[in-house]
């Protein structure tokens, strides 16, 4: 078994699409970034890479590389997961927390879990997505940004 942890944060910008775990959340602002800036998926990829000591997404998908401009992070996730399976591991489970003041994400959580379980070809029960605010404290609290954490367990097949 291998355990991994990932963290990511992005600035929120007006007019940007708000794509979280592959689901477009209706919102006047979204995470800014080079790719689609899907913050929880970035944290999840870093957790997977971390579990196998394979570096981080900045090494695998540098934002200086134009081919990753507005990249679909779910596609990048599948690429990272291919590295995992190539090494003889499969996902045991993943637990993601999205930290955002608004909008409320509860009604999108199931769709997010389905998107991730489809991308990783794993049971829905292996994917947990949670959302929290930081009670108006700090950069997520004042709406400057969004953050996410992810923990994964990889198991040998």
Which chain residues interact with Mg ion by CB under 5 A?
Answer: 8, 42
Report in angstroms how near the CB of residue 101 gets to Mg ion at its nearest: 18
Between 39 and 89, name the residue whose CB sits nearer to Mg ion: 39
CA distance 90 to 68: 25
Beta bridge partners of 13: 30
Between 58 and 88, name the residue whose CB sits nearer to Mg ion: 58
Report in angstroms how near the CB of residue 25 gets to Mg ion at its nearest: 17
Between 33 and 81, name the residue whose CB sits nearer to Mg ion: 33
Report in angstroms how near the CB of residue 11 gets to Mg ion at its nearest: 11
Between 19 and 89, name the residue whose CB sits nearer to Mg ion: 19
Report in angstroms how near the CB of residue 155 gets to Mg ion at its nearest: 26
Largest interatomic CA distance in the chain: 44
Q: Which residue is nearest to Mg ion (CB)?
A: 42
């Amino acid at each position: 078994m291998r355990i991994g942890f990932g963290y990511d944060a992005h600035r929120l910008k007006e007019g940007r699409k708000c794509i979280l775990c592959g689901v477009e959340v209706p919102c006047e602002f979204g995470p800014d970034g080079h790719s689609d800036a899907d913050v929880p998926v970035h944290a999840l990829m870093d957790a997977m890479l971390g579990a196998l000591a394979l570096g981080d997404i900045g090494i695998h998908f540098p934002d200086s590389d134009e081919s990753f401009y507005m990249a679909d992070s779910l596609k990048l996730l599948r690429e990272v997961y291919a590295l995992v399976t190539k090494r003889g591991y499969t996902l045991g489970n993943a637990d993601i927390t999205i930290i955002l003041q608004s909008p409320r994400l509860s009604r999108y959580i199931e769709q997010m879990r389905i998107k991730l379980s489809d991308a990783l070809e794993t049971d829905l029960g292996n994917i947990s997505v949670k959302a929290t605010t930081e009670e108006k404290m700090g950069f997520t609290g004042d709406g400057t940004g969004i953050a996410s954490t992810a923990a994964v367990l990889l198991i040998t097949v």
